[in-house]
Chains A and B, each alone.
Chain A
Amino acid sequence: MTDQAQLLPGTLDLLILRAVSLGALHGYGILLRIQQISGGALLIEQGALYPGLFRLVRQGLLKASWGTSENNRRAKFYELTAAGRKRLRQETDTWNRLATAIASALAAQPEEV
């Protein structure tokens, strides 16, 4: 667990949106999906997921409905709304720009300055 990175503030929402964009999922499923797509590199406290989910639903980016899970249990499934899809695109762009900028800043060598 020690090589897992702590989440930057604000990035959980982005991860949730991304995870859900690949198909409707219930809460636990989202958690697994994030671990899977991040190659298990990101640490998310299980409980912390839910406030984020509810916030996104309230903002109209996700919609939720009850259904039955692969374990044959009742679970609430989340999927993206149109607004959610749009937001995911924007956030992804922003994140990429930021990441590139930080990366190039960190990669700068003394002679380039």
Chain B
Amino acid sequence: MSFFSTIRSLASAFLQRGQVNREMEDELRSHLQHRADDLQRAGISRTEAERRARLEFGGFEKFREEAREALGGRFVETLFQDIRFSVRSLRRTPGLTVFVIVTLALGIGMVSGTFSMVDALIFRPYPVPHPSGIVTLVSTTHDSSFDDFSYREYLDLRDKTQSYAGVIANSDMKAVGFSADASSTPRVTGGMMVSGNYLHVLGVEPQLGRNFRLEEDQVPGRDAVVVLSPEFWRREFGGDPAVINRHVRLNGVEFTVIGVAPEKFPGMQIFDRPDFYIPLAMAPVFSTDLQKNFFEDRDDRELNVKARLKPGATLQQAQNEIAVLAKNFESEYPKANLGRGAAVHTQFEMRTRVDDANWKFTVIFVVLALAVLLVACTNVAGLLLSRGRARAREIAIRLSIGAGRSRLIRLLMTESLILASLGGLGGVAIGYAFVEWFHTFDQVVLMTDLPLALPFRMDTRVLLASLALAMLSAVLCGLAPALQSTRVDLASGIKSAEVDVPGRKRMWGRNVLVVAQVSTSLMLLTAAFLMVRGFQRDLQVGTNFQKDHLLMTTFDPRLVQYNPTQTRQFYKLLTERLREAPGVQGDALMQNIPLGTDHFDGLAFVPDGLQLPRDRENFSSTMDTVDEGYFNTMAIPILGGRGFLQSDTAEAPRVAVVNEQFAKHYWPGQNAVGQHIRLDSRDGALVEIVGVAETIKNENAADFPADFIYLPLAQHPIARLTLMVRSSGDPVQLVQTVKEAVRTLDPNLPMIDTRAYEEYYRNQAVESPKIAMKMVGAMGLVGLLMAVAGLYGLIAYNVSRRTHEIGIRMALGADRSEVLRLVMGKGLVLVGIGTALGLAMGFAVERLMNSMLFDAGGVDALAYVVVVPTLFVVTMLAAYIPARRASRIAPTEALRYE
């Protein structure tokens, strides 16, 4: 019989069980009447005929049952029986049932909550058709394996490769000044420059209007067209279809709306939600680096390049091809490309890159969540095992009156599946609550005017994964107990509930559970402890600059189409005026603020006179461009030499300030002041180090001290700058002062992300990591509670099972302390083994976390000093309480104990 007809017959049997049964009854009755008719014809009375027909038919019930089985639908019916039976028996022990469900729910909830993050950060495919064909092309150097490409390089990649159906490029999401018409003040929005074929190659067709045309990306500055994101379209234009062909102003330039992207395409990035897309050819309106020519300079690397593999082309072919291309770049353009390679990566590879903090956190969270689930499963397995024991008598009776072992195992598995389903549902609810809880921090985490989103959500993928996990845990923690409790010796099983003569094999499973639980929860706690304490330690170290009494706000004069001279003039006047304003103690301009969300630029340089290794063109360090007020305003001590001065103008000799870490790194034991570096390469511009500043935390609060170099703004003009104003009073009160000063200079220039720096710092550097700490802490706590409960249950159960044995021992003259020692010794050995294993795992996790998150401090002894004794005390109590009770029972009673 084919598979499908089985299914059909099962389904119809299931759906029309009543009808089928009725029909069968009718048919059997019809048979009896036909037979009775025949008998009646032979001269027997109707009543007698019917009676005889029934007798001749044979065991009516038996055949009816057989017939029902032959009809199919037997499986479904037994399933229903099993479910009914399971529910009944689970309701007989409500406490245990609830405990198991809650335990499973917690375990699965942790994992499904975590998985909603993992999915968003790693597994969720690009929101485009056939996402697996999309690969990312990266430029590689000594210092970075994931560098961007320049426009020229992109054109070469597009035109000189054969492996792809299309090669596309996009810039980072940039702050763009948007106004619906010429008269209104521009607001900050997020725009992304994309190649003309971007949406087309991705397979994204606008829901309204049209896509970019290829010729719209050919001539710099000619085609001012824009495609809106669906959300921006709704928010800004109320979803009006007449938006097509309307004119809007972006950074002061008039653009024509040509299309609206489809709803299902929120963008290719994890967090960025661009408001609109603009062709790369319009780069002059949005470009960041004033010193470089976007269309010509091969080292102006601002573009993220992706491609869609041709059908049939393999990743390996693409790899080989791009390696050759990179070699050619190197020989053709040694100035820009020496020591630079290229590689092709899949989406998964890009999302699991080693230098990605998201990925690191994800790994840690997943490991911890799985550990919690493991503890939960061992708990449940232990409980089911004990329950199986307690039911040994019932099971023995069932077996002896002829129930098949497989049938009983199926019954017991149905029970665990019911438990797991309920636990899974609870887990999904907890996971959902977790995601909701996480979203309450959106405002804390995303402190910016740009359109960002945390894409964590409970969707079908997460839901299915969670339920699959629930089923898997049901099998894992239900199967072993089911197998074991159906393998009983019938005779002794019926006689007593105390079935097992504690054979080695029997005890083994339970001992493994105890050990697994102790070690896993120890590891969990160690991890939680380490993270929380490591983080606190990092905060205590301090940032080495003064965070209070600072007001921050960002300007981008390109939003109103200033040229470099106007930009310089604006900043000059603004800072001068503010310095004279009441309540202002000082101000400073900087490209990036310390501990902000933006990444610092990298600076390529060569310490002058240093012999470089042959394959190395230069070194690199993170950098910031700051004005002469920076070190004073941020209160960063200058340890040697000087900070920047007004005299460090564009015409003056070029200078730089490095941090102490940098100075020690490149000139150990010497004075860095007076040394020289060359920018970019050996024959680049000569720059003198004029000062050494204290090393401050720049990238994040849990930073290793890193090399850092400051360049004077006057010598490296930047358009988009953040202004910091040091106030004598509450910095927020200065907002009006700054607004006034800006208004007198240009009422159209928007102020971006205006807030007190201390508040920003607290959200960004303290509160956001604290969320992670809370999560880890919660997992650790849940793990500990479960481990404690489970441990107590297992050991207490083990001991209470030996009540009978204890009675015998005491009847034979053992005294109480001997019994206590006997019982507790066993527990101690198990906990000892568990602790040893747990410590080993804890050390492993500690190394992992140190290498990923915190500076490589030694072993955090406190974690172990707190955690290990806690577990010991719990175990001892768990063994002691039942042991004491057992040792107090009069021997006569213990011997009768069942």
Contact = CB atoms under 8 A, between A and B. Distances in A.
Interface in B563-588: none
A60 B5 CA distance: 9
Interface residues of A, number: 22
- B interface majority secondary structure: helix
Interface in A55-88: 55, 58-60, 69, 71, 73-76
Interface in B19-77: 23-24, 26-28, 30-31, 33-35, 37, 56-60, 62-63, 66-67, 69-72
A47 B60 contact: yes
Of the listed residues B24, B60, B70, the one surrounded by the most CB atoms of chain A closer than 10 A to its CB is B70
A95 interface: no
A39 interface: no
Contact of A50 (B1, B5, B35, B67): B67
B9 A58 contact: yes
Contacts of A45: 58
Contacts, number: 72
Interface string A3-47: 000000000000000000000001111000000000000000111
A59 B1 contact: yes
Contacts of B1: 58-60
Interface string B849-882: 0000000000000000000000000000000000
A51 B66 contact: yes
A107 interface: no
A94 B28 CA distance: 32
Interface size class of B (residues with CB under 8 A): 20 to 34
A113 interface: no
B26 A74 contact: yes
27 contacts: A27-B27, A27-B30, A27-B31, A28-B30, A28-B31, A46-B57, A47-B57, A47-B58, A47-B59, A47-B60, A47-B62, A48-B66, A50-B31, A50-B70, A52-B70, A54-B67, A55-B70, A59-B1, A60-B1, A69-B30, A69-B34, A71-B33, A73-B33, A73-B34, A74-B30, A75-B30, A76-B30
B30 A58 contact: no
Given A50-B67, A54-B70, A58-B72, A71 B57 contact: no
Contacts of B37: 71, 73
Contacts of B59: 47
Contacts of B67: 50-51, 54
A8 to B, nearest CB: 18
Given A58-B70, A60-B1, A71-B37, A26 B30 contact: yes
B465 to A, nearest CB: 37
Given A50-B67, A75-B34, A76-B27, 8 more contacts: A27-B27, A28-B35, A51-B67, A54-B70, A58-B70, A58-B72, A60-B1, A69-B34
Contacts of A54: 24, 67, 70-71
A76 B57 CA distance: 17
A50 B24 CA distance: 9
B6 to A, nearest CB: 9
A43 B28 CA distance: 19
Contacts of A51: 63, 66-67, 69-70
Q: Which of A47, A48, A73 has the most CB of B within 10 A?
A: A47
Interface of B: 1, 5, 9, 23-24, 26-28, 30-31, 33-35, 37, 56-60, 62-63, 66-67, 69-72
Interface residues of A: mostly helix, strand, loop or mixed?
A: mixed
Given A51-B63, A60-B5, A46 B31 contact: yes
User: Which residue among B31, B35, B56, B72 has the maximum number of chain A CB atoms within 10 Å of its CB?
Assistant: B31
B57 to A, nearest CB: 5
A46 B35 contact: yes
A48 B65 CA distance: 11
A74 B23 CA distance: 11
Contacts of A48: 58, 63, 66
Given A55-B70, A60-B1, A60-B5, A50 B34 contact: no
B375 to A, nearest CB: 47
Contacts of B66: 48, 50-51
Nearest to A54: B70
Contacts of A27: 27, 30-31
A28 B31 CA distance: 5
B338 to A, nearest CB: 75
B39 to A, nearest CB: 12
Nearest to B66: A51
B44 to A, nearest CB: 16
A75 B29 CA distance: 9
Contacts of A28: 30-31, 34-35
Contacts of A55: 70
A39 B34 CA distance: 21
A28 to B, nearest CB: 4
A73 B30 contact: yes
Contact of B71 (A29, A47, A58, A73): A58
B666 to A, nearest CB: 84
Given A51-B63, A51-B66, A59-B1, A46 B71 contact: no
Nearest to B5: A60
Nearest to A69: B34
B34 A71 contact: yes
Contacts of B26: 74, 76
A46 B33 CA distance: 13
